Amino acid sequence: SIAIVGSINVDITTRSDRLPQPGETLHGHSYAINLGGKGCNQAVAASKLGGDAKLVGRIGKDGFGDIAAQHLADMGVSTEHVHLDETHGTGIAVIGVDANSENSIIVIGGANLAVDESDLDRSSDVLETAKIMLMQLEIPVETCQSAAKKVRASGGKVIFDPAPAPVHGLPEGFLQNVDVVTPNETETEILTGFRPTNAEEAAHAANLLREQGVAAAVVKLGARGVYFKDGESEGFVEPFKVNAIDTVAAGDCFNGGLAYALAGGKTLAEAVRFAAACGALSTTKHGAATSAPTLAEVEALMGA
Ligand code: ADP
């Protein structure tokens, strides 16, 4: 199975002509309530492809927690390991979007920030049986580090998406417990001090990342493509040509696809190409978790 240890949010998105100034009250047009959080998005992406995705995380005992659990269940993600937090509220993101699609976002981490060792203990069977574990940085980094050690001790592989960018750095030796790291340009710069803009520079950045102890570096350059390197292979995957209208969660769909392909025994080169198709397809639809493609859609794009 594919374990995802990560965040669960409810996104509340408002639409208005413009975003309010400090002290201002505006009337908007509409709002939507959706599942969000990188943990959820990546779990849904892997599940929609047909992966056996098990999400480990926390929600609060509140209406938003009920909404999150219902959405996860509707999208085929097991909520057996989504734990109820007695004291913290469910994580939310309040997202304002204006007529030009500019946005401003406030995230309240809530229960996500309390995910700790007790959650890993309660879900130890998930970590011990996972072929692949996906993690990101919307839960405490110490919890990620511990989860990575447990999964590897049981023979599983760890994919780490260093997002949001770890502006205060990672704990000493963190990447030594990771098999595959998948930063975008900004996250690569935070981790290495070097911002890649093309394949050659991404190759240099991948070497810097590998010097930090990670086996495989996958450097995502958004619409410019993606570079990968491990001990045996390296290469650049040109972007798939799609009509991109919304890049929200492209990285999450990429990671869900990467986990699905690696869990299915694909090589890194094959898995990165598959993941790039997933990321590209997600940009053709609005939304985060809801924009993840099906396996048939990915195969159609890859075959074309
Ligand atoms: P993040 O959301 O983490 O910043 P990216 O924006 O790099 O991630 O997108 C993740 C992946 O999705 C890219 O590496 C690429 O494979 C794919 N992708 C993103 N935007 C496009 C696009 N406009 N056209 C084709 N593929 C894209």
Q: 95 in a domain, yes or no?
A: no
What separation in Å is there between the alpha carbon of 272 and the centre of ligand 1?
Answer: 12
Burial class (CB in 10 A: 0-12, 13-18, 19+), 189: middle
Q: 96 in a domain, yes or no?
A: no
The candidate with the shortest Cα–Cα distance to 6, out of 50, 52, 59, is 59
pLDDT digit string, tens, across residues 201-225? 999 999 999 999 999 999 999 999 9
What was the pLDDT predicted at 267? Answer: 97
What was the pLDDT predicted at 304? Answer: 65
Dist. CA 40–CA 283, nearest whole Å: 18
Query: What is the bridge-based pairing of β-strands 103-108 and 91-97?
Result: antiparallel
- Residue of 198, 247, 278 best suited for mutating to test ligand 1, as the one with most atoms within 8 Å of CB: 247
What CA–CA distances, in Å, run from 54 to 124, 133, 134, 181, 207?
12, 9, 10, 20, 32
What was the pLDDT predicted at 203? Answer: 98
Q: Is the CB of 165 under 6 A from ligand 1?
A: no
Q: Is the CB of 136 under 6 A from ligand 1?
A: no
Question: Would you please indicate which residues are annotated as catalytic (active-site) residues?
Answer: 252
Q: Is the CB of 254 under 6 A from ligand 1?
A: yes
Q: Specify the CATH number for the domain of residue 198.
A: 3.40.1190.20
What was the pLDDT predicted at 162? Answer: 98
- Domain containing residue 71: 2-7+37-89+112-303
Nearest residue (by CA) to ligand 1, atom 16, is: 276
Q: Residue written as tokens 């023979």?
A: 155
- 3-class state of residue 230 by DSSP: coil
Q: Is the CB of 240 under 6 A from ligand 1?
A: yes
Q: Residue written as tokens 């219902």?
A: 70
What was the pLDDT predicted at 217? Answer: 98
pLDDT digit string, tens, across residues 132-151? 999 999 999 999 999 999 99
What separation in Å is there between the alpha carbon of 250 and the centre of ligand 1?
Answer: 5
Burial class (CB in 10 A: 0-12, 13-18, 19+), 245: exposed
Q: 286 in a domain, yes or no?
A: yes
What CA–CA distances, in Å, run from 18 to 21, 95, 98, 103, 287?
9, 13, 5, 9, 20
What separation in Å is there between the alpha carbon of 85 and the centre of ligand 1?
Answer: 34
Alpha helix (H) residue ranges in the chain: 38-48, 63-74, 117-122, 124-129, 141-153, 185-192, 199-211, 250-263, 268-282, 295-303
How many domains is the chain partitioned into structurally? 1
Dist. CA 201–CA 243, nearest whole Å: 26
> In this structure, how many other beta carbons lie within 10 angstroms of the beta carbon of residue 202?
26
Q: 102 in a domain, yes or no?
A: no
Q: 267 in a domain, yes or no?
A: yes
Q: 24 in a domain, yes or no?
A: no
Q: 44 in a domain, yes or no?
A: yes
pLDDT digit string, tens, across residues 35-49? 999 999 999 999 999
Q: 213 in a domain, yes or no?
A: yes
What was the pLDDT predicted at 101? Answer: 87
User: What residue ranges of the chain have pLDDT lower than 50?
Assistant: none
Dist. CA 171–CA 177, nearest whole Å: 11
13: left (phi > 0), else alpha (psi -120 to 50), else beta? beta
